[in-house]
Amino acid sequence: MYSLYNALLIQHSKQLTSIRCAEQTIAQIHRYFEDVVLENNLSALVIEGLPLMPERSLRDLARVREIGRAAQRAFFFVGHTDALNNLPLRVNEQDREPILLRRAPEDTVFERFVVIADARFSALLASVRNTEEDGAESEGDEVIWTFEPDVVYSALEYLMARVAAERPFQAAGFSTAVRTSMPKATSLQLTVSVTTKLARLLQEQAGREIAVNRIATAIRNSLELDSILQTTVNEVGRALNVQL
């Protein structure tokens, strides 16, 4: 089955533009989307797809618990051998427990996504790791995001079909949660807040990439260690916006 990223690009090619980002940057964007729910008390439906991790940090576990506690309903697509399958997902009995949707063992697609549907806000982030023609993993992951309710609606429809095919015994509960949380609009204030954070983060990434490229050029063009080191110091300082 297609990843959510691929399915949406096929269906909404004119509305979505894919960019390539470092996996670390995408993980940070993912957290920005989660923060909208946590910081604004959104009683939203939250559906996330997490990359497979045989081990999870306490920070990862705490984050999943937070989302489960804050959201109206929270679902997490996880790998068959992901550590979350064996960890307690709530601390107190009164907490809402996030629901795990295990991917099939043969599902090896490296994807990440978060879908938020609420009466006040709708948002979507989806990424996938592609491979080159020679089978090697490409540098960086492809990512899309949007706040358009119709695209979020398409994502929810796709995920319902996916759960029905892969986890039929969980399909009824998942569909009920989705049907009662269909996106109707999106808050301009929340959208601007997230977009501002995204722009700042991507600007920082671009600055780091330029610095790395300049350092690499200096190494190729010079055999003088002092010159290379000075270029490195200058570019790191410029990327961090400090004087060194």
If asked whether residues 156 and 100 sit together in one domain, one would say: yes
Residue where a domain terminates, one of 167, 182, 197 = 182
Across the chain, what does the average pLDDT equal? 80
If asked whether residues 28 and 101 sit together in one domain, one would say: yes
Q: Give the number of domains in the chain.
A: 2
Q: Is the pLDDT of residue 156 over 80?
A: yes
Closest by Cα among 109, 98, 112, 146 to 131: 109
Tell me the torsion sign for CA atoms 23, 100, 120, 182. positive
* pLDDT digits 0-9 by tens, 24-41: 888 888 998 898 889 888
If asked whether residues 126 and 216 sit together in one domain, one would say: no
If asked whether residues 69 and 138 sit together in one domain, one would say: yes
If asked whether residues 173 and 196 sit together in one domain, one would say: no
pLDDT at site 228: 47
If asked whether residues 152 and 192 sit together in one domain, one would say: no
Range of the domain at 141: 4-182
Whole-angstrom CA distances from 28 to 32, 200, 202 are 6, 12, 10
CATH number for the domain harbouring residue 17 = 3.30.870.10
Contact 44, 116 (CB under 8 A): yes
pLDDT at site 134: 53
If asked whether residues 240 and 121 sit together in one domain, one would say: no
